[in-house]
Each structure stands twice: as C-alpha cells, then as structure tokens.
C-alpha cells in the first residue's frame, strides 16, 4: 500500500509539475506569431498605411461630394449628396467607406507611428507623422469645427476622459497644428536624419527636402485659412514664411507636389474610384459628370484643361428655327430640334437645353439630371449622349495606365495662389501678378498643357486684373479633384460666386458637415457642447445648431460667404 501511495503521490507530483509548466508554456506561446506588438513595431510597417489611407480619404472628398459643393462635378444617379448636399448626419469622421473618411482610424495608426518614431529617435519618421497628423486633424476641424484632439485615440488608457474624449476648440486645434508643423520643419532641417525607404514613402520616395516643403506648404495653407478670422495672425505667419525661404522652403515646382499614385491592383483598395476595369458596368464612371459651372467657366476662358478633364458630347444639339417647330431628329450624329421641342423640356423644370457643340456639363442641383438635355435614353440612368463625360483617363484603374491619375494633397499652384492673395491684400509676400501667373503656369504644367501657357494667359478673363476674385477663381479651377481647398476658399472669400441649384437642400452652399448621429449617441455630452458652440444662421432652419449651414468658430463674426 505504501508503495502504491508512493507511486500515486509521485504521479500526482508529476502531473502538477507538468500542469504548471504547461500553463507557463501556454502563456509564453499565447502571442500571435503573425501579429505585431505595438511596443516593438517598426515604424516602416505603419507608414505606408498612414500615407495611402490619408491620400485616399482626401481624394474621396475632393473627387466626391465636396466636388459637388464647389460645382466641379455633379452626379446623375445616386446624387443627393453631391448635388443637393443632402448628407443628413451620416458623415462620420470614423467611418471607413463613408463620403468623408475614417480620419480617426488613420490617426490611430499615425499616433503609433509617432510614438514608435520618438522612442527610436527617428526624426525623419517623427516629422512625417507630425505633418500627417496636422493634415488629418486640419481636415477634421475644417469639415466639422470643434473636435476631439488632445484626448483623441487614447482609448486604451481606459479612463472616462479617453473613452469619451472632450472636443478641443477649433482655435486651439489650429494652434496645435501650426506648432506641430513648426516642429516637423525643424526636425527635417537636421543633417543626420535616418533613411526612409523609397518603397514605403509613397509620396516622396524618402526625400526629406520634399517632405519639408510639404509641411511648410500646409503651414502656409493654415495661416491663410485664418485670414478672415484672425488677419493679424495670418499676415504675420505668411510674411514670416516668405521672408525666410531657406528656413521655410515651400513647394514651388510642380514636380514636388504632394501626390499619391494608384497601383490599380485591387478593386476598392488601390484603384481609381471611377475606373471601368474593375467596374465593368461603367456605372461609377458614368454617374459622375463635369458640372456646367466649371465647364462654362473653362469654355469662356478658352482653358486647355477642359479637354484634359472632360470629353466632348457624343451627339451635339442644334435648335434650328427653319425646321418645323416639333422637329426632333438625328442627322449625321447631330440632333436637330425645332423651336417647340426644347420649350417642352424647359416646362419640365429640368434646365434649359444646352446647345454647345463641344462640352456640356450638368447644371448644379437640378431636379432630374439623368434626363437633362433631352436625354433620349430615359430609364437608363447615367447614360446621356448630350452631356459630356469625364475624360477617358478616369476610366483607368492606375496611374501607370494614365499618369495624371493621382491623389493631390498640396501643390506648387496652391502655394503661388496663396502668395498672390497675400500680396493682393498688401502683405509682404512678393508681387501678386507674378504669383498669379506662376500659379496658372504650375497648374497647366501639372495637367500636361504647359505649351499653351502663353496663349492662355492672353485670353480675356485670364489677363491679371488685380482682384482677389480672379485669383481665387483660378485657384478653384486648379483644384480639380482636390476640391476640398476650393470649398474652404469659397467659405472664406465668397469666390468664385456659386449659386446652389434649384433642388439643393438650401438656397445657399453649406459651410460644414453635421456632427454624426453616432457621435451624439456615444459621446453625448461632449458632442452637445460642440454643437452648442456653433452659431445657427437663417439657413440652419430645422437642423438647429448642428446644421451644415451653421457657423463654426472660424466663420463666427465673419461676413463671408454670406
């Protein structure tokens, strides 16, 4: 018996020993071999995601609903957001795939990039993360107003303050953004920077000088953003930058524009949004058409960029008073109307028939854009032989197939137009006329029509007239596919003069995005404080304070745009 007990005890001892040693082994093995421990992650693994997602979100705005606001494009199907500003409270700053973008998701990765870069003493990586942080949070506050900033993306700390972050004031966010850009500029001025691989830096291929120019261009942008609200601050900041070009280098060469190319390998991830390679139906391409506001302006100015961005109509319309009044027939690929037929169309409250033989855009905010201009294919939304489509290059999935397909974040043209505006105000920023023409030249170079520069600047309406309206109008044109800046410029200056369409949600253009329903549901107190800080206007109407037509801090006490 003793032997049995001894053997039993020995067996138990062995089992317990194995049990505890096994538990220890399990603990050690409970690490995903394919995962990344945040405390050990290489910044190079995070950087490409931050850059690509930020650029995609920026294009999502500037080629999407915001291009409809500033009337670069219109939609003729699924068009309520683009044409009518009928967003409701769905534009979330955290929702991937929304019409705005997952900005806090991008910043969550960017914060990890920053933390790891600082921990490793990587100044170049740190500077890039600060520049991207400034751009991302700059978009958030420009689009919504007050927003979580200092307490944002700290949910892992598990406190009430970090799980339900307070909203920082818009003014304080701008101040913090500018401070970060100043820090980035100083870091990038160092001579002993670590290498950033050209394969992971999808903007500049690891060129610190170009990153420095990008960061300072954003700084210039935000100073001008404040020019109506805090003109003294804007003037001092811009004059500081202009007076010290070695300390504050800017993007002055279009070859150094902040852009991202599209590989076009995977549908919905790295392809151009309207391509027909992955969307064989072509619906996404046909649903987006040039807006007549832009087409008309470019036609009047005889602008060579129009042919780069849009196609000529497939079948022009001619109204011939010598024909019987009810004539409607196609002869030699031209559709002929008598004088009575287009009158019938106008009584349908769509819009007057456009008989331009070359380029016809969709008017802004009309009732039934898919039937516009006597479209004979009623019931097949998006197809219309009498309205211009986007240029064929926008059917391509990648930059390699069409080199002009890029997300454009900041440019030499933008820099020159900002400096032209600053000089026009009387600030020490150089000669306004010189900067104005340099902005036009940079944009024409970007879009491959630089050979037509001399002819173009001699055209009526392009010859410099000394007005801020002309400067901003040319900047608006140059902002094609990057229309977000054009919206903020219009909001700040009232130019170009844009009129909301007949069927738009309000009779004037909106000023901001609504705070989302989710934000009000899950961060109620802080969201309500931010909403109460907005100033309602006559156009806010039933929306109350949380309206796309309410004024954020930047616009409070300012008379523009209305």
Residue 32: pLDDT band by 50, 70, 90 thresholds? low
Residue 337 to residues 316, 321, 376, Cα–Cα distance (Å): 11, 8, 13
CB 536 within 8 A of CB 547: yes
* Coarse DSSP helix, strand, coil percentages of the chain, rounded to the nearest 5 percent: 50, 5, 45
CB 540 within 8 A of CB 549: yes
3-state secondary structure (DSSP) of residue 294? helix
How far apart (Å, rounded) are the C-alpha atoms in residues 417 and 87?
31
The confidence score (pLDDT) of residue 155 equals 83
CB 134 within 8 A of CB 409: no
The confidence score (pLDDT) of residue 11 equals 39
**Count of CA atoms in the C-beta half-sphere (13 A) of 388:** 31
Tens-place pLDDT, residues 429-481: 999 999 999 999 999 999 999 999 999 999 999 999 999 999 999 999 999 99
Tens-place pLDDT, residues 83-106: 999 998 878 898 654 566 799 999
CB 503 within 8 A of CB 530: no
Using a cut of 0.85, tell me whether the model's pTM lies above it.
yes
The confidence score (pLDDT) of residue 31 equals 55
Q: In the predicted model, what is the mean pLDDT of residues 339-345?
A: 77
């Amino acid at each position: 018996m003793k032997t049995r007990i001894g053997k039993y005890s020995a067996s138990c001892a062995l089992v317990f020993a194995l049990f505890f040693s096994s538990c220890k082994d399990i603990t050690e093995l409970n690490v995903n071999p394919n995962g990344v421990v945040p405390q050990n992650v290489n910044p190079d693994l995070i950087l490409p995601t931050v850059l690509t997602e930020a650029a995609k979100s920026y294009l999502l705005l500037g080629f999407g609903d915001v291009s409809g606001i500033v009337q670069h494009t219109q939609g003729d199907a699924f068009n309520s957001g683009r044409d009518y500003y009928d967003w409701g409270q769905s534009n979330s700053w955290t929702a991937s795939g929304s019409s705005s973008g997952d900005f806090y998701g991008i910043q969550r990765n960017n914060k990890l990039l920053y933390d790891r870069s600082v921990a490793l003493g990587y100044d170049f990586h740190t500077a890039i993360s600060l520049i991207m942080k400034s751009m991302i949070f700059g978009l958030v506050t420009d689009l919504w107003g007050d927003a979580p900033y200092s307490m944002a993306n700290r949910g892992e700390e598990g406190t009430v303050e970090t799980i339900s972050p307070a909203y920082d004031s818009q003014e304080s966010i701008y101040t913090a953004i500018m401070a970060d850009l100043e820090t980035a500029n100083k870091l990038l001025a160092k001579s002993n920077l670590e290498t950033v691989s050209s394969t992971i830096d999808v903007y500049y291929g690891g060129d610190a000088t170009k990153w420095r120019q990008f960061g300072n261009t954003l700084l210039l942008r935000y100073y001008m953003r404040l020019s109506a609200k805090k003109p003294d601050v804007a003037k001092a900041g811009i004059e500081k930058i202009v007076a010290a070009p070695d300390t504050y280098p800017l993007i002055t060469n279009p070859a150094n524009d902040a852009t991202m190319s599209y590989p076009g390998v995977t549908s919905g991830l790295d392809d151009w949004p309207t391509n027909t390679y992955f969307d064989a139906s072509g619906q996404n391409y046909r649903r987006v058409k040039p807006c007549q506001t832009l087409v008309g302006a470019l036609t009047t100015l005889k602008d060579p960029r129009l042919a780069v961005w849009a196609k000529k109509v497939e079948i022009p319309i001619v109204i011939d008073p010598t024909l019987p009044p009810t004539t409607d027939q196609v002869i030699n690929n031209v559709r002929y109307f008598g004088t009575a037929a287009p009158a019938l169309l106008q009584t349908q409250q769509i819009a007057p028939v456009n008989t331009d033989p070359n380029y016809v855009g969709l008017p802004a905010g009309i009732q039934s854009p898919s039937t516009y201009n006597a479209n004979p294919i009623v019931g097949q939304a998006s197809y219309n032989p009498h309205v211009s489509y986007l240029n064929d290059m926008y059917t391509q999935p990648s930059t390699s197939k069409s080199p002009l397909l890029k997300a454009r974040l900041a440019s030499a043209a933008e820099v020159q137009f900002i400096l032209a505006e600053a000089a026009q105000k009387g600030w020490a920023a150089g000669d306004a006329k010189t900067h104005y023409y340099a902005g036009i030249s940079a944009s024409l170079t970007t879009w491959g029509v630089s050979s037509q520069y001399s002819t173009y600047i001699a055209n009526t309406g392009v010859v410099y007239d000394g007005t801020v309206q002309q400067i901003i109008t040319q900047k608006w044109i140059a902002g094609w596919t990057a229309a977000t800046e054009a919206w903020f410029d219009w909001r700040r200056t009232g130019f170009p003069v844009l009129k909301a369409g007949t069927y738009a949600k309000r009779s004037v253009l909106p000023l901001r995005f609504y705070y989302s329903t989710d934000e009000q549901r899950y961060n109620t107190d802080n969201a309500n404080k931010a909403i109460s800080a907005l100033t309602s206007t006559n156009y806010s109407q039933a929306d109350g304070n949380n309206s796309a037509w309410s004024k954020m801090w930047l616009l409070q006490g300012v008379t523009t745009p209305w």
